[in-house]
């Protein structure tokens, strides 16, 4: 077993609005070993992106703030780092790719400048060396004619190409951890597959650990080792990718799996989880999923279940109290 690279414990991030602290991430814990891939899954508003931005310490403040927990990266708490120490880690040890390739690159700088900038900053390379490395990186993400592309501006590239540039940029300093926040959501299906293939390939080549944030379970099945399912700022199920797909425990996880349209078999009405994610200020006592759950019981209304150990999974549901199935 490789050593623990990242350990997030009881992370709490809130956003202040009208003097009220609204929790966006509420006591989330997970871990990641070197070279491992963790998928964080959940609907919009479940706190996935806030979790990743908290790790990067890029929560816009105000209004946001990490108010509790710890984020141990190679044994050191990132929340205790000074701003300047944190800058040395960002882009160097931990990098991030974002959901919107169309707007995530600076329109007034060339691709080459944007990649080599990181290299010159963290690796002390000269401009020439950094540019050579940038060309290499573009080759690695399979961008044709890298020597030409490097002199181009973002508007001259398609969305898929821009996301490749983002990946090249994020991986240029060979980070130990790559956080990919919905890297394929804004892309065409065919391009999505290519981008995933590139992430998968580079992950194997460089040994980078990856946190993949997505609401697409198909993407998770493709590359994740473990999966964290989030709902309303809470972890509701945390397990290996096998368990999640073949033995989902939490009603929300099953719901997500059932909402994937199937090609094989007779055509059926698409199953969706009823209702919508409650907004953080609508959360009342009891289980946060109670309003949408098919198995809701009296106990769910009053008490929020803790994360229960069920087989090899952690599940936040009263159906599994005491380790076995019990009717709450």
User: How far is residue 242's CA from residue 159's CA, in Å, rounded to a whole number?
Assistant: 32
- For residues 307 and 46, what is the distance between their CA atoms, to the nearest angstrom? 17
Burial class (CB in 10 A: 0-12, 13-18, 19+), 108: exposed
Output 81 or 297, the one with its CB closest to other proteins. Answer: 81
Within 48-138, strands assigned E span 64-73, 76-77, 94-97
CB of 171 to other proteins, least distance (A): 12
How many Å apart are CA 113 and CA 131, to the nearest integer? 8
Q: What is the residue whose two structure tokens read 């109290």?
A: 321
Contact 210, 199 (CB under 8 A): yes
Q: What whole-number distance in Å separates Cα of residue 19 and Cα of residue 16?
A: 6
The arrangement of strands across the sheet holding 76-77 comes to: 20-33, 4-17, 64-73, 76-77
Residues that bind other proteins (CB under 8 A): 56, 58, 84, 87-92, 95-96, 98, 100, 103-110, 117-118, 121-122, 153, 155, 166, 169
By beta-carbon proximity to other proteins, the closer residue of 38 and 166 is 166
Q: Is the CB of 107 or the CB of 261 nearer to other proteins? A: 107
Distance in Å, CB of 186 to other proteins, minimum = 11
Reported as type and span, the H/E element at residue 164 is: helix 159-171
Q: How far apart are CA 134 and CA 111, in angstroms?
A: 9
Q: CB-wise, 122 or 234, nearer to other proteins?
A: 122
Nearer to other proteins, 37 or 92 (CB): 92
**137 vs 241 by CB, closer to other proteins:** 137
């Amino acid at each position: 077993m490789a050593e623990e690279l990242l350990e997030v414990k009881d992370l709490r991030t809130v956003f202040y609005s009208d003097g009220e602290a609204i929790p966006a991430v509420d006591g989330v814990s997970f871990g990641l070993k070197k070279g491992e891939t963790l998928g964080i899954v959940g609907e919009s508003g479940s706190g996935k992106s806030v979790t990743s931005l908290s790790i990067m310490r890029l929560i816009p403040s105000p209004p946001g703030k990490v108010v509790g927990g710890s984020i141990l990266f190679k044994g050191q708490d990132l929340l205790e780092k000074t701003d300047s120490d944190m800058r040395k880690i960002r882009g160097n040890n931990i990098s991030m790719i974002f959901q919107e390739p169309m707007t995530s690159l600076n329109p007034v700088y060339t691709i080459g400048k944007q990649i080599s900038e990181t290299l010159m900053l963290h690796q002390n390379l000269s401009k020439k060396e950094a540019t050579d490395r940038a060309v290499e990186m573009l080759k690695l993400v399979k961008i044709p004619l890298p020597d030409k592309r490097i002199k181009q501006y973002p508007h001259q590239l398609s969305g898929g190409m821009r996301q490749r540039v983002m990946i090249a940029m994020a991986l240029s300093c060979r980070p130990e951890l790559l956080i990919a926040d919905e890297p394929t959501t804004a892309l065409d299906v065919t391009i999505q597959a290519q981008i995933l293939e590139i992430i998968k390939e580079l992950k194997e080549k460089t040994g980078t650990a990856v946190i993949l944030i997505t609401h697409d379970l198909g993407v998770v099945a493709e590359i994740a080792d473990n999966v964290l399912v989030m709902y309303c700022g809470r972890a509701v199920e945390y397990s290996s990718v096998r368990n999640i797909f073949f033995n989902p425990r939490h009603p929300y996880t099953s719901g997500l799996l059932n909402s994937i349209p199937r090609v094989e078999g007779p055509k059926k009405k698409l199953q969706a989880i009823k209702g919508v994610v409650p907004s953080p200020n609508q959360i009342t006592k009891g289980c946060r999923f109670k309003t949408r759950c098919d198995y809701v019981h009296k106990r769910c209304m009053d008490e929020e279940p803790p994360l229960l150990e069920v087989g090899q999974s952690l599940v936040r549901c009263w159906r599994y109290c005491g380790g076995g199935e019990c009717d709450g």
